């Protein structure tokens, strides 16, 4: 998606060979028009898959996921990273390692928001090592539902996430694929 790549080059900050800050339009301050275009791209790619729900992981995936769900006329479910005092034992949970934070967290899905008949589209802001996507997949498949695709806003293609997910048979569609990062350096796969 050319508009996204342009914004990454204009406003993104490569802090080093692993960290790209895009907080001015994606995950702190959000550009709704850009998110709408992101949702349009995901809809076009995934629209004929029989998808029944769009899932994302809080919090940075919410904006692109809600725009995708809105355009596909589907419900969106947010997988929670925080333990909730109002959740009872009626949920699925798995442990996920966060590359960005360097720590583990519990990913939680209420059983009332998924059924074995669901075909799920997972939308996330970044793909690095694939840990977040794998955690979401575990929760979806634990109840017998199917993952019909994974939409990624920004993929760090130099990290193993895509390969890990594709080897397991998942269709990964990324809007911006980064080949190389370095201090003040951002290179895309064409």
Model confidence pTM above 0.85: yes
Sequence ranges of the binding site:
20, 27, 128-132, 156
Q: What percent of the chain has pLDDT over 90?
A: 86
- CATH (domain of 62): 3.40.50.2020
Q: Enumerate the β-bridge partners of residue 95.
A: 106
Helices (H) and strands (E) in the chain, counts: 5, 10
Q: What residues form the annotated binding site for xanthine?
A: 20, 27, 156
Q: Is 139 within a domain?
A: yes
Q: Is residue 25 part of a domain?
A: no
Kindly tell me if the per-residue pLDDT of 65 is higher than 80.
yes
pLDDT band at 54 (very low <50, low <70, confident <90, very high): very high
Report how far residue 34's alpha carbon sits from residue 15's, in angstroms, rounded to the nearest whole number: 23
Annotated binding site for 5-phospho-alpha-D-ribose 1-diphosphate: 128-132
| 164 is a domain residue | yes
Task: Say whether pLDDT at 7 is over 90.
Answer: yes
Which residue segment(s) compose the domain that 134 sits in?
32-177
């Amino acid at each position: 998606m050319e508009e996204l790549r342009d914004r990454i080059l204009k406003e993104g900050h490569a802090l080093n060979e692993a960290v790209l800050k895009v907080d001015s339009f994606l995950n702190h301050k959000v550009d709704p028009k850009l998110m709408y275009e992101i949702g349009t791209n995901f809809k076009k790619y995934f629209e004929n898959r029989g998808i029944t729900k769009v899932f994302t992981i809080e919090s940075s995936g919410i904006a692109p996921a809600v725009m995708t769900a809105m355009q596909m006329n589907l419900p969106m479910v947010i997988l929670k990273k925080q333990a909730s005092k109002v959740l009872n034992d009626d949920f699925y949970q798995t442990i996920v390692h966060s590359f960005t934070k360097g720590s583990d967290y519990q990913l939680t899905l209420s059983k009332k928001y998924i059924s074995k008949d669901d075909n799920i589209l997972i939308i996330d802001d970044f793909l690095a090592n694939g840990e977040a996507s794998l955690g979401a997949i575990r929760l979806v498949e634990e109840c017998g539902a199917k993952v019909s695709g994974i939409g990624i806003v920004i993929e760090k293609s130099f990290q193993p996430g895509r390969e890990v997910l594709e080897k397991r048979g998942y269709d990964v569609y990324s809007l911006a694929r980064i080949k190389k990062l370095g201090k003040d350096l951002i290179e895309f796969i064409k």
